[in-house]
Amino acid sequence: MPVTKRKTVTQARARTNLRAERKLIFMKHARMPAIIIAVATALLLTVVSVLGATAEEIAASDKHFSLESATATEGSLTVAEIVKKCQNSIVAITTETVQSYGNNYGYGNGYGYGYNPFGFGYGYGNPYGNNNRQYTVTGSASGIIVSADGYIVTNAHVVEGADSVTVTLFDGTEYEAEVIGYAADNDIAVCKIDAQGLTPATFGDSDTLEVGELAVVIGNPLGLANGAVTSGIISALNYPYEDDEHTINAIQTDAAINQGNSGGALFNSYGEVVGVVFAKMGGSLVDGIGYAIPVNDVKTIIEGIINDPDATAVSTGESNILLGVTITTITDEISDYYSLPKGAYVVEVEQFSAAERAGLQTGDVITAFDGQSVDTAETFIEIKNQQSAGEDVEVEVWRNGQEMTLTVHMPEARDVTTEITKGTQG
């Protein structure tokens, strides 16, 4: 019996151990799916993370090119944002000028085709008969609101001689405008309308512009699209623009400029006015060359007209000292092709000018001015503007393969004071 009892106990213990081993095996097998799921989840998250990063990299490498992104600077706005910010600060200007009959066409005043190719105008009335006949010439242009109480900047050639000036806001509201004054030499004018609560434009620093920056033009092209927008880049700075009426160190842009854009604004990438549009280069072989007056060159004049409407003159400063020479840059391609030195090529020398008295001639290449190397037209303008009236400055010139040194006497600014004509509009 004792043996049998021990066997029974032993068998019972064996059965208990077997059940425990089976339970342990079951628990191990039960944990396997959880472990597999955990491992699979970790692997899946890793794959998703990798794929997500790859997708972002692919998206970043496949971005659509835009002019805005190519020219953007920190904190700059998109063209759409600039338009939203600035469009209400630009106005359309319409002028009417009554003229006595003197030819058989309704063209030829300062606002149409007969003066320059940058305004826009047409005549109506009877162009036939004798000199007692009259006709009215209408012109269209643009303007910039500079104060909430109705002061507006435009070009002098837009309003000079006009019998009436009408300003149309972006919302279509029309006002009769008074011409407060204008500086013809600088092609800047100020008008006033009887309005309050307008949206003045923000003015920037045109001296900080760099070639290649985003440029946006808003104006009234052809008198048909008040607030129309074009965009491009700053193509050149200190371009020595000259015509029969003006010599202006202009900003050049490839943003489209058309007749009627005169007096409109050139904005930088922050929505700040850096130039007042005044001209474009015309011709069947020319495209994308427009000009604006740098605001830093005319701020004092604008402020003088507004703050002292009875003023008769405002000092121009040294930056307007003119030598009477039209220049352009000798590029690397031109230099190599024509075997010319790098420098400022003299396109034209004005008769009786300081440049002519110094002996400069058309075809000369200016290579140094006041002991400083000149490799572009812009460099020449910058060095020239550092000089003072009355100084004698040496100019190194290449002419027909020969190098020579000339001496130019720096003249007073062309009209040391720029005349500001008071408006007579009521």
**What span, in angstroms and rounded, lies between the C-alpha atoms of 270 and 124?**
42
Q: So which residues are the catalytic ones?
A: 157, 187, 262
∠ CA 371-375-380, nearest 5°, is 60
**What span, in angstroms and rounded, lies between the C-alpha atoms of 395 and 403?**
11
DSSP state of 112: S
From residue 356, give the alpha-carbon distance in Å to each of 230, 407, 413: 40, 11, 16
Query: Residue 351 has which token pair?
Result: 């008769």
Buried b (16+ CB within 10 A) or exposed e, 200-231: bbebbebeebeeebbbbbbbbbebeebbbbbb
Distance of CA 167 to the CA centre of its chain: 23
**What span, in angstroms and rounded, lies between the C-alpha atoms of 382 and 384?**
5
Query: Residue 177 has which token pair?
Result: 């405008």
From residue 319, give the alpha-carbon distance in Å to each of 247, 298, 302, 383: 11, 11, 16, 10
Distance of CA 169 to the CA centre of its chain: 22
**What span, in angstroms and rounded, lies between the C-alpha atoms of 182 and 153?**
9
Residue 176 has a CB neighbour count (10 Å cut-off) of: 13
DSSP state of 204: -
| Alpha helices (H) along 174-270 | none
Query: Residue 236 has which token pair?
Result: 């050149």
